[in-house]
Amino acid sequence: MSSTGNLLITNLHQIVQIVDDGDTAFLAGKDMSSIKVLESKSNDLAILSTDGLIKFIGPKSNLPTDVIELPTLATIDACGGSVIPGLVDGHSHPVFAGDRVHEFAMKLAGATYMEVQAAGGGIHFTTTKTREATKAALVADFKKIATEMIKNGTTTLEAKSGYGLEWETELKMLEAIQEVADLHTIEVSATFCGAHAVPRGSTEAKQAEVIVSHMIPELVKLKSAGKLNSLENIDVFCEKNVFELESSKKILKAGKDAGLAVNFHADELSALGGAELGAEIGARAMSHLEEISEKGIAAMAKAGTVATLLPSTAFMLRLTPPPARAMIDAGVIIALGSDFNPNAYCLSMPTIMHLACVNFRMSMPEALVAATLNSAHSLGRGNTHGAITVGRVADLIVLTAANWEHIIYRLAAQCSVINTVVKAGNVVYQHS
């Protein structure tokens, strides 16, 4: 496989650009339905990438001849297939030890997330296992997961800490994320989520204090020293009886003041007013929002904060879905994430898009925008990733199907329609 970032893809029926310029960082409202798609009856479309960036899109006959002769140019014959941007997973918890398959039975029998947690399971189970695990074991597991994600078309991933809750394990998790970011082909935007839950033996106020006065300053010091380059975001599980508004605000503001982007869990299980808080403090993104209020929707639309919706969690926990249609109508920028974690074990963004269409009543173009350009925007990459335009990073998925909608339509069989995954102009996965 080539690693020069020089790649020519030919014989395409469709190129799903999403937008056709580098300036548009997101789409909202009605614009989410009108994506830019190039189509050729004679399947003569081509994409050229040089040094990892998109250089040319259009009919092959218009290709600049000098670049076709590049000695290091890799080629793909798409045989009349289509191409979409690499998928961007806006929310995941991919670093943990131990699975929670045993709890799935409890949940099927009707136990809620909070009831499982009260019975000694849930996040505290994962926290115990993750504290016991070595960093090498966490890295090895995350690498396998990242490889599966790439196979499913994810080229950029938001990845959280949050199963340590104390300093040593939170740092171990962020270092594990950094190792995978350095070694693996997947691109990672790491998030410090030391306020994922209140650790046993502590209180909400005590945990908020230790995060603000110790953990955030130490992490930012490591980042400045070049040791945690992937660390970009600060997160809190803002929820009734977990981190309520006051302590959430304190932690998020401390993270923001230290240079991290605010991107947090809000209004999942109760309408606490997390959406309003995020809008007020200039959050870049908020996730979940199953219980968002009308005021919260208006505040997010006005502030331009991205709503990262998580269809697999709402599906598996049988939560009322977030009001995605009302949010789109109000002009809120909608993104999608897998929320991959031991409680909701789904890493496939094509499946996430399918669930968004069926359960959140989004159209296929809306789901694709949310899983590409808008989730790139939720990670500060809306001008460089998430669309196929000249100058953007060449993150691409070549599909065997002539029409791109098959990536959503074929539930749980999307892998068979993914022919090749390209990260920064290099082939990182090829269906055999």
Instruction: Report 324-343 residues binding Zn ion (CB under 5 A).
Output: 339
Tell me how far, at minimum, the Cβ of 310 lies from Zn ion, in Å: 7
Tell me, residue by residue from 32 to 71, as one string, x for binding to Zn ion by CB under 5 A and - for no binding: ----------------------------------------
Tell me how far, at minimum, the Cβ of 263 lies from Zn ion, in Å: 11
C-alpha to C-alpha distance for 334 and 44, rounded to whole angstroms: 33
Nearer to Zn ion, 196 or 354 (CB): 196
Name residues whose C-beta falls within 8 Å of residue 387's C-beta, 6 or more positions apart in sequence. Answer: 17, 18, 19, 24, 85, 372, 373, 376
Tokens 């709890």 belong to which residue? 103
Tell me the Ramachandran region of residue 74: left when phi exceeds 0, alpha when psi lies from -120 to 50, beta otherwise: beta
Instruction: Return the residue nearest Zn ion (CB atom).
Output: 339
Spell out the SS3 assignment of 142-156: HHHHHHHHHHCCEEE
Nearer to Zn ion, 6 or 343 (CB): 343
Q: Is the sign of the CA dihedral 370, 375, 377, 382 positive or negative? A: negative
Secondary structure (3-state) at 354: helix
Nearer to Zn ion, 291 or 339 (CB): 339
Nearer to Zn ion, 339 or 366 (CB): 339
Amino acid at 396: L
Tell me how far, at minimum, the Cβ of 344 lies from Zn ion, in Å: 8
Tell me how far, at minimum, the Cβ of 167 lies from Zn ion, in Å: 21
- 261-266 vs 231-238, strand pairing mode: parallel
Nearer to Zn ion, 266 or 418 (CB): 266
Numbers of helices and strands, H then E, in the chain: 17, 16
Tell me, residue by residue from 339 to 378, as one string, x for binding to Zn ion by CB under 5 A and - for no binding: x---------------------------------------
Tell me how far, at minimum, the Cβ of 33 lies from Zn ion, in Å: 28
Tell me how far, at minimum, the Cβ of 252 lies from Zn ion, in Å: 15
Residues in binding contact with Zn ion, number by CB under 5 A: 1
Binding site for Zn ion (CB under 5 A): 339
